[in-house]
């Protein structure tokens, strides 16, 4: 799908974190490899069994706030997920196109707001190791509002908190159900990311335009209408 944004009519850019500004390879390795391996050792069960158990647990709470909650998973699995996250922190990295794009948005006077479902501890660890905060004007974790981005109540709360107008907002995320929720709320431009994880082949989007390099947006951003 073609991406055509009337940037002169946009004043706010909302950005997801994991898979959008940061390489999702960190999270995929953590949740799909490290957690099952640690659970297997902790409980003395075969790795295959740990993977199966984890998949069932993940599926049970997908698209709810618990899916993103480190406290929930620590209690549910009996593992210190926060400590594991802290230990893995140095592996978190920015996407190559993140800093140039955010700098261009700043130069054009756009408000740059991080809107992540990441747990506050997860967010703090990643900010410490990536320097992401210096490129943003406001950082919001949905945990402080009590709803994930999949929930319309979250969008109402964020709009009230930030004063954003949906018609003058761009939102970029690597989850199609989350972009669906944003579009339903009235966010005018909802963009997907085809390459959230640098170690995996690009994904296909069904309902939203998507791109693999934000630097492609910079020339149109700089055009004066």
Question: Which residues are annotated as catalytic?
Answer: 9
Structure tokens at 191: 């963009």
Element (H, E) at 179: helix 176-185
Strand order in the sheet with 189-193: 138-141, 111-116, 12-15, 169-172, 189-193, 210-211
d(CA 49, CA 55): 10
Whether the CB-CB separation of 146 and 66 falls below 8 Å is answered with no
Residue 127: enclosing H or E segment and its boundaries? Answer: helix 120-130
Q: How far is CA 90 from the centre of its chain?
A: 18
Q: What share of the chain is helix, strand, coil (3-state, %, to 5)?
A: 55, 10, 35
The DSSP-derived string for 197-221 is STTSPPPP-SSS-EES-GGGGHHHH
Is residue 157 helix, strand or coil? helix
């Amino acid at each position: 799908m073609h991406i055509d944004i009337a940037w002169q009519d946009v004043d706010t850019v909302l950005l997801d974190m994991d898979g959008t500004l940061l390489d999702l390879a960190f999270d995929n390795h953590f949740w799909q490899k490290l957690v099952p391996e640690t659970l297997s050792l902790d409980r003395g069960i075969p790795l295959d069994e740990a993977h199966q158990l984890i998949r069932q647990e993940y599926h049970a709470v997908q698209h709810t706030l618990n899916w993103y909650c480190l406290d929930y998973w620590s209690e549910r699995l009996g593992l210190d997920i926060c400590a594991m996250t802290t230990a893995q922190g140095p592996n978190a990295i920015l996407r190559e196109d993140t800093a140039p794009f955010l700098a261009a948005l700043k130069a054009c006077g756009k408000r740059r707001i991080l809107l992540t479902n990441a747990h506050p501890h997860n967010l703090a660890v990643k900010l410490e190791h990536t320097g992401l905060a210096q490129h943003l004007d406001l950082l919001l974790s949905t945990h402080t509002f009590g709803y994930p981005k999949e929930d319309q109540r979250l969008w109402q709360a964020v709009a009230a908190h930030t004063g954003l107008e949906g018609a003058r907002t761009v939102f970029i995320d690597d989850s199609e159900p989350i972009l669906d929720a944003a579009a339903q709320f009235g966010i005018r431009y909802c963009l997907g990311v085809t390459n959230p994880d640098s170690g995996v082949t690009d994904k296909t989007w069904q309902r939203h335009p998507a791109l693999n390099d934000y630097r492609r947006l910079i020339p149109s951003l700089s055009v004066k209408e």
